[in-house]
Amino acid sequence: MKLGSMKAPWGDQVKGSWWKALLIVIVYFVLRVMFESWMYAQGALKVTAEPTLDMLQDPEFLGQVFQVTQVESVVGGILLTLFVIGVSYKVGFRFFQFKTMNWKNILQALGIYLGFFALQIAWGALVTQVAPEYTQPDNQTLVQEMVGNMNLIYAFITVVIIAPIVEEYLLRGLIMKYIFTYTPALGFIVSSIIFALLHSPANWIDFTTYFILSACLAGVYWYSRRLEYSIFLHMVQNLIGFLTIISMS
């Protein structure tokens, strides 16, 4: 795709796509909140007889909760992901075009990703200069606790496989393509903002960090119109983080 055609509406449009996609997104998050609330409650009671709200905000305690609920966490994540994929397919949403993949498109998408990746590095260097006391987002600390307390296979499935697939389906596939079908630029911005907010930013540095990461993946999808590219690169990014956490533990 040429840069000029990025302004064009998404192809293979589906009648009523915006409200169908929005409904799928809402139902997914309702089910996820219900499941995670149940899982955290059950896990907290297994860790201690009298859990408190402060405990549930402590990454170390939540790491222990993940340890005793890791099977439920993986199974729930898989079922929720299959729900999004299945319902999306049922209403006529299509995301993949494996038959038309070629090296030229792949290299172009990779070039966009590397450009945004360089921006992430520059942002990290800037943060180090203007806020030397800053360490990392609380969400990253939670992920480290989760990986450190879970079986490595379960942690790998959750972080490297499930998270990239469901996040790209929701944010890029449903929101960018089918809710903002006629306004790709707005979909790019909205999906990046939602991604940042989903990672519970505690301050503007956290928010900007996740916004840039999301913009990287959204940019690849916007340019290539290929969800498989953004999913793959999201997996690669999470794999790098996963291996980094393991090497530090």
pLDDT in tens, 42-54: 898 888 878 887 8
Q: Is the pLDDT of residue 95 over 60?
A: yes
Q: What is the pLDDT of residue 98?
A: 63
> Which tokens belong to 6?
């990025």
Q: Is the pLDDT of residue 245 over 90?
A: yes
Going 97 to 224 to 92 to 234, the CA torsion angle's sign is positive
> Which tokens belong to 225?
């119109």
pLDDT higher at 9 or 6: 9
Q: Quick check: 210 and 148 in contact, CB under 8 A?
A: no
pLDDT higher at 178 or 55: 178
> Which tokens belong to 207?
């928010």
Question: Which residues, at least 6 apart from 97, have a Cβ–Cβ distance to it below 8 Å?
Answer: 226, 228
Q: What is the pLDDT of residue 51?
A: 81
| 149-175 average pLDDT score | 95
pTM (global) more than 0.85: yes
Cα–Cα dist 144/218, whole Å = 25
Phi-psi region of 104 (alpha: psi -120 to 50; beta: other; left: phi over 0): alpha
Tens of pLDDT, residue by residue over 195-233, are 999 999 999 999 999 999 999 999 999 988 889 999 999
Cα–Cα dist 85/102, whole Å = 25
Q: Is the pLDDT of residue 30 over 90?
A: yes
Helices (H), 48-162: 53-56, 59-68, 70-90, 103-130, 138-149, 152-156
Query: Would you say residue 9 lies in a domain?
Result: no
pLDDT higher at 83 or 112: 83
Q: What is the pLDDT of residue 94?
A: 87
Query: Would you say residue 6 lies in a domain?
Result: no
Minimal CA–CA distance to 217: which of 178, 175, 247? 175
Q: How far apart are the first and last CA of the chain?
A: 43
Query: Would you say residue 159 lies in a domain?
Result: yes
Q: What is the pLDDT of residue 60?
A: 85
Q: What is the pLDDT of residue 108?
A: 80
Cα–Cα dist 169/215, whole Å = 15
| 178-193 average pLDDT score | 94
Q: Quick check: helix, strand or coil at residue 11?
A: coil
Q: What is the pLDDT of residue 23?
A: 97
Q: Is the pLDDT of residue 81 over 80?
A: yes
Q: Is the pLDDT of residue 4 over 60?
A: no
Q: Is the pLDDT of residue 1 over 80?
A: no
Query: Could you give the number of structural domains in the chain?
Result: 1
Query: Would you say residue 235 lies in a domain?
Result: yes
For the chain, what is the mean pLDDT? Answer: 89
| 112-139 average pLDDT score | 90
Q: What is the pLDDT of residue 103?
A: 78
pLDDT band at 83 (very low <50, low <70, confident <90, very high): very high
Cα–Cα dist 109/94, whole Å = 20
- Domain that includes residue 236, residue range: 14-248
